[in-house]
Structure 1
Amino acid sequence: MTTTSLAQGPAVAPPDDDLGGAEHGQDSPPAQPSGPDPAAAVPWLRRLSVIALLLITAVLYLWSLNESGYANSFYSAAVQAGSESWKAFFFGSLDAGNSITVDKPPASLWLMALSVRLFGLSSWSILVPQALLGVATVGVMYAVVKRICDNKGISGHTAGLAAGLVTALTPSAALMFRFNNPDALLLFLLVLAGYFVLRATERAGAAWLIAAGALVGLGFLTKMMQAFLVLPAFALVYLIAAPTSVRKRLLHLLGALASVIVSLGWWVAIVELWPKSSRPYIDGSTGNSVLELVFGYNGLGRLTGSESGQVGGGAGGGPRMSDLPAGAEVFRAGGPGGGGGFGGETSILRLFQGVSGGMISWLIPAALLILVVALIMIGRAPRTDKARTALLLFGGSMITTGLVFSFMAGIYHDYYTVALAPWIAGTVIIGGTVLWRRRQRLLARITLAVAAAGSTAWAFVLLGQSGEQPYQTLRWVVLGAGLVAAAGFVLIERLPKALATIVLGLAGIAVLTGPAAYTVDTVLTPHTGSIVTAGPVSSMGGGPGGGTRFQMPGGGTRVQVPGGGTPPGMPGQAGGQTSRQGGGRPEGGAAGGIGGLLNGAQVSDALKALLSEHADDFTWVAATARAQNAASYQLATEDPVMAIGGFNGTAASPTLEQFKTYVASGRIHYFIGSDGEGRMSGTSATDSASQIQSWVEKNFTAKTVDGVTVYDLTESN
């Protein structure tokens, strides 16, 4: 069959056998544009479209951002502390008195703390930096995909816009770039590091590779070993494709490894060598050691399941099951992989089930199919081929990250899936561009058709999980559009250029409508607490194997836990889930109990006024069990509150003897009971928090302020 060019007739252009020119590190010559390039003829049009992409992303991520209040109050309290104390800033302390740290390294807190120092404490000053990180991530995605796909025609620019848009419209990305967990900074750093690796690979640039290593090291200081999930793909890409000798490739990789170690090691070394007597206790450790976090709580323990007896946690940890009241096991509802945010069964299908499915899985099947076929079709291209290099980096990062999340035996939360968003987007768009440029081949057309049909069929399933409008209607529209686009792909070589472009656009609309609908729902929903989810399906696993939603007075919605009860995060209930209260700032959980574990306490004006009395005379205006409770009181008063026992209430910080010393020296004003009865729920009598509370009850007089038990530690019995 003879194919004419578009300039000569309506048939499609010959395929481009490369995705770039020599100027971008490609060995083969650049492909010729198949027609006039409007963006090249009008440069401002290209710039305007990029600006539009970033502005749309900014509006999406900033819209009603303050409705989430302080979001995860655990991290917001640490941000407030870091804005008041440089020591707290460096260590990531939960309070400016530096009694205990959060259970993660502090890098994600630094940008937010600087913002609070400049603009004061507010929801905006905490969350806007996170949203801007999302905009920056989308910008980097545009830059890297454009560079890979650019052939001096419009296709590279269009591919970059598409990659940025797919990333921005991923529901888990819309969630985490509007929240104050560490994932926002981590994702930005890793995407930028991936861009640097590709730049290094183009010309064997050791400087670019070392810079990428430094970014990965900073990612470690954001969320520890999760930053390393991309390293196999990064290293493999450079080892295979860098245009230099094997010896130099290995030396460059060793230099990058050294950069990773130095970038993360300076902080770890300082913290570990700092005298324990003058540094805050490292939460999540049993021996006040940051190395325990590296290799245990935030490291190998997550993979091996040594932390599997826990549920919940600051950004992934949680209490022992023995700490929970009877019946708390119900919060693990959601079926395999759904897990209610607490894990569920390990499975290759974990990312497709329960809440995770709606947060990330929309394009995973298409990405895997496109990755395999695109690599096959690139075939015997030069070792340094840019398209293959980029597919190995994006596809490899997607696969390693996805496999770890699927089979990690420790704590798994649905929002972890945001780590997959850019790798999926890059794989689909770069691989799709490879196939589109070879669309005269039957294999390319069939693959594009199957990817479109499969993605929309899966979207049909996911949109049906909520059981609500507009998703029930939208799912049929998506399915119909996807099937039409799939048929168009099969016949694409017979279509005029304009109609072929319409088919491509229709396919894009069909596969993005589902995640876009979930993203809009996420943007319009306030999110508070430790465990949050995206989209209309609840973290209780609404849909197959999960909970159901029912209407609340005032127009909001609420989730009913299978077997009865209400989900964490609702007023007066346990935990810290997505809040759907018909608008307005979300309320926290009740003081104490499991509510104090995952969502903190509500602070009345009377209690706030009491704690603020003579605040400057004390290092801590109050002490209370568990960090979420302490964070609530600290954010209300903007004065340090000691979190006894750390996040779970089980850390040995402070010991009873240390606490007695603080009280004797007049450094703590009040002790706040952990529940309405003034007693820890389910904590072992050997834990410091329980010992301290028992000692306080015996030696100081209790009074009740708006239902909260308070002890004045300056007035003993």
Structure 2
Amino acid sequence: RMWRGRPEDNRWVRPGFLLTLLLIGGLYTWNLTASGYANSFYSAAVQAGSQSWKALFFGSLDSANAITVDKPPASLWPMALSVRLLGLNSFAILFPQVLMAVATAGVLWAAVRRRFDATAGFLTMAVFALTPVAALMFRFNNPDAALALLMAAAVYCTLRAMEKAQTKWLVWAGTAIGLAFLVKTLQAFLILPVLALVYVAFAPGTWKKRVGQVLVAGLAMVVSGGWWVAVVELWPASSRPYIGGSQNNSFLELTFGYNGLGRINGEETGSVGGGGGDGGGNWGETGWDRMFSSNIGGQISWLIPAALILLGAAIWATRKLRRTDGTRAAFLLWGGSLLITMVVFSFMQGIFHEYYTVALAPYVAPLVGMGAALLWERRAEVWASLTLAAATTATAVWGYVLLTRSSDYLPWLRWVVLIGGLVAALGLVFAARLGRQLALAVVGLSFVTALAGPTAYTLTTLGEGHTGSIVTAGPSVQGGRG
């Protein structure tokens, strides 16, 4: 349906969707090679995988298979195959991540279009593509781009499963989570409680059937993620590379230690140190406002206040609908995934980098797109128009705050965002009373001012090269790493 369009759609919808995908791909491809080999740690493994199938399988840092990277190898496989096809160069290493950005945008479009019109879908794609940290990591060779794509696919498949209690779609969701485990181990499991609980609580069918389907999906997850682990653990240690990052040459120890609980409590054995707490640490202060801090705020948080406001309003608006209502389920899945990931990121005391927040981008975007569409449909109700105005006001004020953190960065833009956003918010209060042309102008102004700040940061990110293991999007900020 995504490709052939819908009978009720205007003729421009399908071409517009395909053109948007091309625009995202073109935008992210522009200046791509400015980053060179980006993270040389992973580029070395990509080079090794392009020379040795054994190195490709294990994710070895060298073609002689002495030691692996400190992650599973699934994110390296597309890059290594690209290098085998195109030769060893920056474009061959980084372009697979651009394709993942296009695929993620397509998945988000397909998910939103299950319940909402094309405008909601286009807004969702725009919010995702213009998130600064997405523009950074979907042009970089760290594992996070592949993880974000698979997380979005898992939520989409769960949504499809909930429509008619279809086991096959829930199995696909489990498979996506299993593959995500082979990208970045336990981070793939962050949204599992949300997917399982929402499905059991709100999917059609009997309670026993729903629980049984979740268990089958869990089995699919174990198989899709566990086969590689089983091969590695059963392979004689003398003839395979050492598992990088582990203390005893065990992938399971790496998974539950350095890449697992150690990330939560800050006690990663072999790490360079961590710990947050109120006193801060090597990885920044932890707390409920971490996603809005100097280091992280400009990466991801531009539309998080609006997403949370719209999520709360959507849950309120759908509170009286039947248990199996798909619209409410969509908000619960995307919103629950956002909240649980934000909480873990905010309080984890171990290794944490700003670019990890790209995992939030596929959750924020549909909440904004769907929430805006839902409340616009009900704008004649006072509470809905006031909530739209509140979300726009919060976005304008927070955008102004974020832009002031870079005092020399486009100083005029902060005022455009603030004043334009407040004017748009005032117009949204009276949206139901305005004529069609004026109402559309107000909506357009709200969209432009909401996306102006992240768009500027995104364009700055696209115009610069990024190398090394710690990279950030946008300009340098006061109190940040720069």
TM-score exceeds 0.5: yes
Alignment correspondent of 1:48 = 15
Q: Deviations over 1:481-528 (max 9, x none)?
A: 100110011111211122212211211111111001100010001000
Alignment correspondent of 1:420 = 360
Alignment correspondent of 1:522 = 461
The whole-number CA distance in structure 1 between the counterparts of 2:108 and 2:314 is 20
Structure with higher strand content: 1
Output aligned runs, 1:212-611, within 5 Å. 212-307=173-268, 318-319=271-272, 342-470=282-410, 472-537=411-476, 542-543=477-478, 545-546=479-480
Q: 1:124 to 1:529 in 2, by over 3 A?
A: same
2:210 paired with 1:210: no
Alignment correspondent of 1:625 = none
Letter in 2 for 1:445: S
Alignment correspondent of 1:136 = 103
Moved more, 367-376 or 511-520: 367-376
Alignment correspondent of 2:74 = 107
Mapped contact 2:247–2:254 kept (Cα < 8 A): no
Alignment correspondent of 1:188 = 149
> What's the C-alpha RMSD, in Å, of the aligned pairs?
1.9
Shift of 1:237: 2.0
Shift of 1:66: 0.7
Shift of 1:374: 1.4
Alignment correspondent of 1:79 = 46
Q: 1:200 to 1:79 in 2, by over 3 A?
A: same
Moved more, 51-60 or 406-415: 51-60
Letter in 2 for 1:458: W
2:37 to 61, 70, 83: 70
The whole-number CA distance in structure 2 between the counterparts of 1:100 and 1:384 is 50
Q: Deviations over 1:139-158 (max 9, x none)?
A: 11111111121xxxxxx111
The whole-number CA distance in structure 2 between the counterparts of 1:285 and 1:421 is 30
The whole-number CA distance in structure 1 between the counterparts of 2:440 and 2:338 is 28
Mapped contact 2:176–2:221 kept (Cα < 8 A): yes
Tell me how many residue pairs correspond in the alignment.
477
The whole-number CA distance in structure 2 between the counterparts of 1:122 and 1:57 is 22
Shift of 1:84: 0.6
Shift of 1:41: 6.9
Letter in 1 for 2:252: L
Shift of 1:336: 7.8
Mapped contact 1:365–1:455 kept (Cα < 8 A): yes
The whole-number CA distance in structure 2 between the counterparts of 1:103 and 1:462 is 34
Alignment correspondent of 1:173 = 134
Letter in 2 for 1:493: A
Q: 1:235 to 1:120 in 2, by over 3 A?
A: same
Shift of 1:355: 2.1
Letter in 2 for 1:60: L
Shift of 1:416: 0.3
The whole-number CA distance in structure 2 between the counterparts of 1:486 and 1:358 is 22
The whole-number CA distance in structure 1 between the counterparts of 2:262 and 2:115 is 38
Q: Deviations over 1:586-612 (max 9, x none)?
A: xxxxxxxxxxxxxxxxxxxxxxxxxxx
Shift of 1:459: 0.3
Shift of 1:39: 9.5
The whole-number CA distance in structure 2 between the counterparts of 1:478 and 1:90 is 48
Mapped contact 1:40–1:46 kept (Cα < 8 A): no
Structure whose alpha-carbon radius of gyration is higher: 1
Per chain length, whose mean CA-contact separation is higher, i.e. which structure has more relative contact order (CA < 8 Å, sep 6+)? 2
Shift of 1:426: 1.0
Mapped contact 1:159–1:430 kept (Cα < 8 A): yes
Mapped contact 1:387–1:430 kept (Cα < 8 A): no
Structure with higher helix content: 2
Mapped contact 1:105–1:223 kept (Cα < 8 A): yes
Shift of 1:350: 0.4
What fraction of aligned residue pairs are identical, expressed as a percent? 55
The whole-number CA distance in structure 2 between the counterparts of 1:497 and 1:246 is 47
Mapped contact 2:424–2:446 kept (Cα < 8 A): yes
Alignment correspondent of 1:586 = none
2:44 paired with 1:88: no
Shift of 1:469: 3.5
Please, which runs of 5 or more residues in structure 1 have no aligned partner? 1-22, 24-37, 150-155, 311-317, 322-328, 548-558, 560-717
Mapped contact 2:294–2:405 kept (Cα < 8 A): no
The whole-number CA distance in structure 2 between the counterparts of 1:265 and 1:293 is 15
Letter in 2 for 1:498: Q
Q: What secondary structure sits across from 2:295 in the alignment?
A: helix
